[in-house]
Amino acid sequence: MTRAVSGAPLSGRRLVIVSNRLPFNVEIKDGLPIFHPSAGGLVTGLASFRESRQQSPALPAEHLWVGWPGSSIDVPLREDVVRQALANFKSFPVFLTEEQMEHFYLGFCNATIWPLFHYFPSFTVYQASFWAQYKQINQLFADALESILRPDDVVWIHDYHLMLLPKLVKNRQPQLSVGFFLHIPFPSFEVFRMLPGEWRRDILEGLLGADLIGFHTYEYTHHFLQSVLRILGYEHQMSQVLAQDHLVRADTFPMGIDVEKFSSAARSDDTEREIRDLRNSLTGVKLILSVDRLDYSKGIANRLEGYEVFLENNPEYHGKVALLMVVVPSRIGVVQYDVMKRQIEELVGKINGRFGRVGWTPVVYQYRHVPFTSLLALYSVSEVCLVTPLRDGMNLVAKEYVTTRGGGVLILSEMAGAAKELPEAIIINPNDRAEIANALKQALEMSPPEQQKRHRLMQRRLKRYNVSRWASDFLTTLVGMREVQNRVESKLLSAAARQEIVAHYRQSARRLLFLDYDGTLTPLVPHPGLAGPDPARRELLRSLAADRKNSVVVASGRERQILEEWLGDLPIGLVAEHGAWLKLIHQDWRRVKPLSNEWKRELLPILETYADRLPGALIEEKEESLAWHFRMADPEQSALRAPELIDHLLNLTGKTDLQVIQGDKVVEIRHAGVNKGGAALYWMSQDDFDFILGIGDDTTDEDFFKALPATAVSIRVGMSATHAQHNIRSSAQVIDLLRALVDASGSRPKEST
């Protein structure tokens, strides 16, 4: 890995933004490409960030935006489009055919992920061809990126269209800093798990390819981490997940807006003119504004129904208010959107037919994109902004309204991410029509000082955490991850250290190999009874032991009967029950010291009660100890029950010589002072060893790491903090190392795994 490069500060590097869409659409007219700017939350936000970078020297000076140019471009025209996009828009187009886009964008993106992640499972389509296309397009983006990425680029991938991309990029260029931001909600585990097994695993693994994954709210971050734990089994510590091959952070970065742009443009001549025109046309009518893309997640029908209830309950407002509903066309061609458009139009017609009269239209409906100055004018003249999504990742319209207008009242759905940052708005549940109606009345009657007080609080917050702050926070955390990763990974056994160990081994005359069993010589399995050694592992131990210079010891927490059954015929030493029993080569088992085990009768029923309360937990009764295993139990319930049990046991054993220890998915009670450290010391005293190697994976192995002399080599499997000199990623790598030792002394095992 070229760590020196990727540890460089942000300012000197190029930022590569990757999103499904570029900030423009290309239209081919008379055989020539025409570039039109495109809208939407992501594009608006990132475009503002790009502009703001000029004022911030700490941010990357150079950038490139990679994405689809909005239409399918014939091959002969592509070169010209690339040239213009690079020269005029610092963008690099990824070309897709109409058909690819249909299965990808309208298929998996917007018929599977969008409805599911917005809690519309009944709209979710599970179609294998959509998934296949999703994978293919993510791959296509990865191919395009490979040709343009430089080793010190900072890559920032956006949104649900490209959830497999972080891993694809990192697999090819592991030295890159790769960040991912999800602009929509991440749903709770119970909803996410509705995706078929392969899809949900690949999506999580794809995201975990990034160094940093960002979400709008704490809830989404929590949901993601919960799915990672429950589906992939990766735990997290302080939002950091140790994925298969690197450390990943998942964190919350609520996206802001370009406050300066909105507030200064609101004072511009063009906007002032539009505001005057609007005011003239609105004599005596208070405007309630709603602005969104046409989408079922935005709760447009609920909003209309809430407004209808308001008009029903408050006839005194007839003729005095109007709801101006601006809807931007979106995802034309997707069935639900067409149905919803008709439904909205019918509702508008119904309300206007029911309450309207000559000179007053209760709902003014516009189905179109509105230019920026007109949008600002609308925000500025509206008394109320009504934002009622059923689910929304963030909702920038709410923030834009508050920023643009000095007073006015924001009514905001609790289902929008923005509600977390704007609690001074009137917060409503969008499914409650009466609550929407009451909120409208409250808003229209709120005193100007109260309006200004609430607005000031919200504005202050939005000003502080604006879009530049959001992006720079994300990017700074992203590049900072490299240092954290380096710290964790610095103890990883390097190729050079491994070579040194092998060389030392080759040159030595008396060697002690002190090896833990579960998790070290074999991977951990759900049930302790299923971990017997395969022939290849037994053969490997036999080969190591065949070298006369070697003393091989397997030191386990297992009972001696099991070790005897699995390994008793091999010419190796054994340690059972974490050091309570020892067996020298070809000798009988010996108990380290006589101990009373009366305590087991007392504590067993307690363990049983806790096992009954946690499905999947099981008890292992050994000669000298008791173990309460919970590897097969629900991880979240275990996280509650295990500490409870430990606390209970600590209370009971406080004044005894018993010890309560939490291992990897196990709680054990055993005699204090009897541990693998003692066993290691015993073996070391048996000879004058000039090479000592200790390998283990669990907290109980820390005892022998501590007991080994400084000249010994100690290795802990996994990435946990340890007294050992090195970490190694997996038990498979332990086996590789042991094979290398066998090769070094020239006695190769007969079989291999």
CA atoms within 13 A on the CB side of 701: 29
Closest separation between CB of residue 268 and ligand ADQ, Å? Answer: 16
CA 453 vs. chain centroid, Å, equals: 37
User: Measured between alpha carbons, how far is 283 from 639 in angstroms, rounded to an integer?
Assistant: 62
Contact between 186 and 220 (Cβ < 8 Å): yes
User: 44 or 124, CB closer to ligand ADQ?
Assistant: 44
Helices (H), 209-323: 218-227, 259-265, 269-281, 300-313
Closest separation between CB of residue 328 and ligand ADQ, Å? Answer: 4
251 backbone φψ class: left, alpha, beta (φ>0; ψ -120 to 50): beta
Q: Per the structure block, which two tokens stand in for 686?
A: 């048996």
Closest separation between CB of residue 710 and ligand ADQ, Å? Answer: 53
User: Measured between alpha carbons, how far is 642 from 531 in angstroms, rounded to an integer?
Assistant: 23
Contact between 707 and 701 (Cβ < 8 Å): no
Closest separation between CB of residue 224 and ligand ADQ, Å? Answer: 16
Q: Per the structure block, which two tokens stand in for 221?
A: 């971050």
Closest separation between CB of residue 254 and ligand ADQ, Å? Answer: 9
Task: Indicate the residue type of 334.
Answer: V
% helix, strand, coil for the chain, step of 5: 50, 20, 30
User: 314 or 330, CB closer to ligand ADQ?
Assistant: 330
Q: 333-341 — which CB contacts under 8 Å span 24+ positions?
A: 333/106, 334/106, 334/110, 334/111, 336/115, 336/123, 336/296, 337/294, 337/295, 337/296, 340/294, 340/295, 340/296, 340/300, 340/301, 341/294, 341/367
User: Measured between alpha carbons, how far is 191 from 223 in angstroms, rounded to an integer?
Assistant: 10
Q: Which of 327, 325, 324, 326 has its CA nearest to residue 285?
A: 324
Q: Per the structure block, which two tokens stand in for 469?
A: 């702050």
* 3-state secondary structure at position 608: helix
| Beta strands per DSSP E along 142-285 | 154-158, 177-181, 212-215, 236-237, 240-242, 247-252
User: 253 or 310, CB closer to ligand ADQ?
Assistant: 253
User: 28 or 39, CB closer to ligand ADQ?
Assistant: 39
User: 189 or 296, CB closer to ligand ADQ?
Assistant: 296
Of 516, 547, 697, 703, the catalytic one is 516
User: Measured between alpha carbons, how far is 363 from 401 in angstroms, rounded to an integer?
Assistant: 20
Closest separation between CB of residue 200 and ligand ADQ, Å? Answer: 21
User: 242 or 291, CB closer to ligand ADQ?
Assistant: 291
- Told to judge if 518 belongs to the known catalytic residues of this protein, a careful annotator would answer no
Query: What are the DSSP calls for 351-390, one per residue?
Result: HHHHH-BTTB-SEEEEES---HHHHHHHHHH-SEEEE--S
User: Measured between alpha carbons, how far is 400 from 708 in angstroms, rounded to an integer?
Assistant: 63
User: 184 or 311, CB closer to ligand ADQ?
Assistant: 184
Closest separation between CB of residue 38 and ligand ADQ, Å? Answer: 10
Q: Residue 392 gets which letter from DSSP?
A: B
Q: How far are the Cα atoms of 410, 487, 518 from residue 237, in angstroms, in the given order?
A: 38, 15, 23
Closest separation between CB of residue 649 and ligand ADQ, Å? Answer: 47
Q: What are phi and psi of 45, to 5 degrees?
A: -65, -50
Closest separation between CB of residue 470 and ligand ADQ, Å? Answer: 9
User: 467 or 501, CB closer to ligand ADQ?
Assistant: 467
Q: Per the structure block, which two tokens stand in for 119?
A: 């809690």
User: 415 or 658, CB closer to ligand ADQ?
Assistant: 415
Residues contributing to the site for ligand ADQ (CB under 6 A): 39-42, 44-45, 183-184, 255, 291-293, 326, 328, 369-370, 375, 392-397, 400
Give first-to-last CA distance, the chain, whole Å. 29
Closest separation between CB of residue 522 and ligand ADQ, Å? Answer: 46
Q: What are phi and psi of 628, to 5 degrees?
A: -115, 105
Closest separation between CB of residue 340 and ligand ADQ, Å? Answer: 14
User: 175 or 336, CB closer to ligand ADQ?
Assistant: 336
User: 255 or 617, CB closer to ligand ADQ?
Assistant: 255
Which secondary-structure segment (H or E) carries 638? helix 635-653
- Kind of pairing between the strands at 212-215 and 247-252: parallel
Closest separation between CB of residue 352 and ligand ADQ, Å? Answer: 20
Helices (H), 15-153: 41-52, 75-89, 98-101, 114-117, 128-148
Q: Per the structure block, which two tokens stand in for 277?
A: 């025109």
* 3-state secondary structure at position 59: coil
Query: Minimal CB distance to ligand ADQ: which residue?
Result: 41
User: 404 or 727, CB closer to ligand ADQ?
Assistant: 404
The three-state (H, E, C) secondary structure of 537-579, written as one string: HHHHHHHHHHCCCEEEEEECCCCHHHHHHHHCCCCCEEEEHHH
- Angle, CA 524 vertex, CA 522 and CA 530 arms, to 5°: 80
| Residues belonging to the active site | 516
